[in-house]
Amino acid sequence: MGRPADEFDVHFPKAGMDRSCPSGRQPARAVGEAKEYARTSWFGKNVRAFDVGVNRMRGGSRAGFSKLIDARVNGVSWVVQDLYPLVGTFDELSGGGVQLSLSGRVVRLVGVSQGVVKVMEPGDTAWTATTNNTGETPPLNITGLIYSSANNQDLFFADGINYVYYDPVANAVNTWTPTAGQLPVDSEDNAASLITTWRGRIVLSGLTKDPQNWFMSKVTDPFDWDYSPTSPSAVQAVAGNNSQLGFIGDVVTGLVPRGDDELIFGGDHTLYVMRGDPMAGGEIDLVSDVIGMAWGQAWCKDPYGTVYFMSNRTGVYAWPRGGMPTPISQEIDPLLQQVNMGENIFRLVWNDRYKGVHVFVTPAQASGASTHYFWESRVGAWWTDDFAEDDHNPTCACAFDGNRPDDRLTVIGGWDGYVRILDPDASTDDGEAINSEVWIGPFLTNVSDDTRLDELQAILAEDSGTVTWAVYVGSTAEEARASTAVVSGTWAAGRNLTSYVRRAGHAAYVRITSTNRWAMEQIRVRLATGGTPRKRGDMVR
């Protein structure tokens, strides 16, 4: 019998990576508001389904990262330990009026490197030193991660050793000295290493020798830690060991405030929620005694109150307000399960422009290669990201929310002391090429008939860079992926000439790679199967 050919259009695998399916199947599923059915991919690196530049789905390489300013936080190649966007009505550092706002709102990025606190504002070209009034040099731990939280426009730090805070009005770092009571320390004088703000209280936890305890300052007064004042009140300071609520029944690994209603305690293998103020009838409820939370800032929130977090089992969960934690990473769990929880830093950041969650996974002991992940909420698609330069891997990250449109950015601090931004116009990662890659397929029949891929014709975006395409065939999908390309070529912007392939096998893939910024509209594929002439629906694509 002859081999009748069939033509159809193939689009970018907008539904993202899926490693949970059989090797020979990449299921299609409904994505986006229009519930368009889109294919999934075995592998997609440094790519995205939604193009924010044209505000629609089409697929292509991700945007790059560029330096926020061309200066290291502390002037030397040393890990950035913390970043925090401090918002207030204090005077600008430069006085240049670059952050004009009717409310007087000023956003100042606070960075820590080598235990030294530096600050900058949009429009600055250098980091500004702060006055150190602590009597210690540096005021914070020179190594290790540091977490911080704002209260009454001051920024308070937790590094496990020191208690200091940053006063933006005086642009000074001061010793955090209580006016009443004592800041928490354990039996070996270790300080707290976890911090957040909830219901106007500073909340501390993470004492090495008292890991199940929690501590809260007086409401709106981070300097009052008196748990037994002369006149008890509903706003006084409180701690787990000094309240009826007691300890968390697990080692506390994360503190997540959600509105005034809930404070989530991530545990090593549990999740607890404090509902209501502990001095005004609040209670602590066990949500899960199986799911836990990775250490530190391994969580983020979207604008609607949904909390996303990396679990103790390396799965990523979404926890909507009023609901229960639900896994969203099943498609990439085989990849996440290979991550060493004890050797990596986990930082999650919600990216409002790209409507998704960055899951940064960075080696904790030294600069090294790593794989990160991005979840596009518009389509529920997962992709892997990596940096060609190991020093770019994020040790801390946050959303910097300036007044101007170009100052609303995702910022990351790396091993080399620089702070970088996700730049929609950048085609490289601070000068390093972005190696993007996506696999489309497999092309095969439901009964694994012999299949021949005859032709390909690609339509790339009009402003797309060139890409390299290659075809892989095999007797199975798994064999095809592991094989050597049988034919390859390049495609340029716009409609390309037809590429003649004429290669046969039981399964075939098209692989697209590039170091350029590119976007894809569609690929016309001409495909034939051996044996009885097939119907269009017989082909799995």
Domain range annotation of the chain: 5-46+435-540, 294-432
- Which residue bears the tokens 């229009």? 34
Could you read off the pLDDT of 385-443 as tens digits, one per residue?
A: 999 999 999 999 999 887 776 667 899 999 999 999 999 999 999 999 999 999 999 99
CA distance 293 to 265: 9
DSSP secondary structure code for residue 51 in this structure: E
- Kindly tell me the sign of the dihedral angle through the C-alpha atoms of 189, 193, 197, 203: negative
- Kindly tell me the sign of the dihedral angle through the C-alpha atoms of 58, 392, 433, 336: negative
- List Cα–Cα distances, 128 to 96, 101, 465, in angstroms: 15, 22, 39
CA distance 268 to 322: 23
Q: So what's the pLDDT on residue 90?
A: 86
Tell me the three state secondary structure of residue 538.
Answer: helix
Backbone φ, ψ for residue 538 (5° rounding)? -70, -20
**Class of residue 169 by CB neighbours under 10 A (exposed 0-12, middle 13-18, buried 19+):** exposed
Closest CA to 59 of 460, 355, 509: 460
Closest CA to 129 of 172, 161, 78, 91: 172
Q: So what's the pLDDT on residue 1?
A: 41
Task: Copy the structure tokens of residue 296.
Answer: 């530190």
Q: So what's the pLDDT on residue 96?
A: 54
For 5-46+435-540, CATH number out of 3.30.70, 3.15.10, 2.60.120, 3.30.160 equals 2.60.120
- Kindly tell me the sign of the dihedral angle through the C-alpha atoms of 337, 342, 345, 350: positive
To 5 degrees, how large is the angle CA 466–CA 516–CA 482? 80
Alpha helices in 81-229 (DSSP H): none
To 5 degrees, how large is the angle CA 345–CA 349–CA 352? 165
Question: Do residues 99 and 105 lie in contact, with contact meaning Cβ atoms separated by under 8 Å?
Answer: yes
Tell me the three state secondary structure of residue 281.
Answer: coil
CA distance 7 to 13: 18
Pairing, β 172-175 against β 131-132: parallel
CA distance 191 to 166: 17
To 5 degrees, how large is the angle CA 49–CA 68–CA 70? 135
Q: How large is the C-alpha radius of gyration of the chain?
A: 26
Tell me the three state secondary structure of residue 390.
Answer: helix
Sheet containing 271-275, strands listed edge to edge, beginning at the edge strand earlier in sequence: 252-258, 262-267, 271-275, 283-288
Could you read off the pLDDT of 438-450 as tens digits, one per residue?
A: 999 999 876 667 8
Task: Copy the structure tokens of residue 351.
Answer: 């990216």
Closest CA to 510 of 454, 472, 461: 472
106: Cβ–Cβ under 8 A, 6 or more apart, which residues? 87, 88, 89, 90, 91, 92, 99, 121
Tell me the three state secondary structure of residue 253.
Answer: strand
Give the H/E segment covering residue 336. helix 333-336
Could you read off the pLDDT of 483-504 as tens digits, one per residue?
A: 999 999 999 999 999 999 999 9
End-to-end CA distance of the chain: 23
CA distance 181 to 196: 19
Chain length of the chain: 541
CA distance 507 to 541: 10
Tell me the three state secondary structure of residue 242.
Answer: helix
535: Cβ–Cβ under 8 A, 6 or more apart, which residues? none
Question: Do residues 466 and 490 lie in contact, with contact meaning Cβ atoms separated by under 8 Å?
Answer: yes
Report residues of the chain scoring pLDDT below 50.
Answer: 1-2, 532-541
Pairing, β 507-514 against β 499-505: unpaired
- List Cα–Cα distances, 201 to 161, 207, 260, 267, in angstroms: 21, 18, 11, 21
Task: Copy the structure tokens of residue 405.
Answer: 């449109």
pTM: predicted TM-score of the whole model, two decimal places: 0.94
